[in-house]
């Protein structure tokens, strides 16, 4: 009886450890995708800002300042739109990662429940057969 309990606990521990390793892999993959997406957005924003400020540094009179003002407004608008789009993509990736983690946990619990039920049924059969 003790051997059956020990094997059951070892099986449960192995299942939980396997699920934890898989969950960590899914979480890290999601984090990597999100970090890559945000890094690309920052790179794009920095290059657009550098181009604008390089042009703005050439301004020497009021007419040139009036001419560059719409470009600054356009840059701010595009930056806000890119930030919104990036945040939407990050949210989508986060939801997808969470869904994968949920499916992984659900599968782990179902497998554990099946293993426990199988062992309990075998113990019942052995006990009733004696």
Q: Report the chain's C-alpha Rg in angstroms.
A: 29
pLDDT in tens, 67-122: 899 999 999 999 999 999 999 999 999 999 999 999 988 888 888 788 778 877 88
Task: Give the pLDDT score at 9.
Answer: 76
Q: How many residues does the chain have?
A: 130
pTM assigned to the model: 0.72
Cα within 13 Å of Cα(41), Cβ side? 19
> Mapping DSSP to helix (H, G, I), strand (E, B) and coil, where does residue 97 land?
helix
pLDDT in tens, 18-69: 888 999 999 999 999 999 999 999 999 999 999 999 988 888 888 888 889 9
């Amino acid at each position: 009886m003790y051997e059956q309990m020990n094997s059951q606990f070892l099986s449960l521990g192995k299942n939980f450890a396997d699920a934890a390793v898989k969950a960590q892999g899914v979480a890290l993959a999601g984090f990597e995708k999100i970090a890559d997406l945000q890094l690309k957005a920052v790179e794009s924003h920095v290059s657009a800002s550098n181009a604008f400020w390089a042009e703005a540094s050439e301004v020497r009179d009021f007419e040139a300042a009036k001419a560059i003002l719409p470009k600054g407004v356009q840059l701010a608008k595009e930056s806000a739109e890119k930030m919104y789009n990036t945040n939407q993509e990050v949210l989508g990736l986060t939801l997808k990662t969470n869904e994968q983690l949920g499916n992984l946990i659900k599968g782990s619990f179902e497998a554990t429940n099946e293993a426990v039920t199988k062992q309990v049924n075998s113990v019942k059969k052995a006990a009733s057969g004696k």
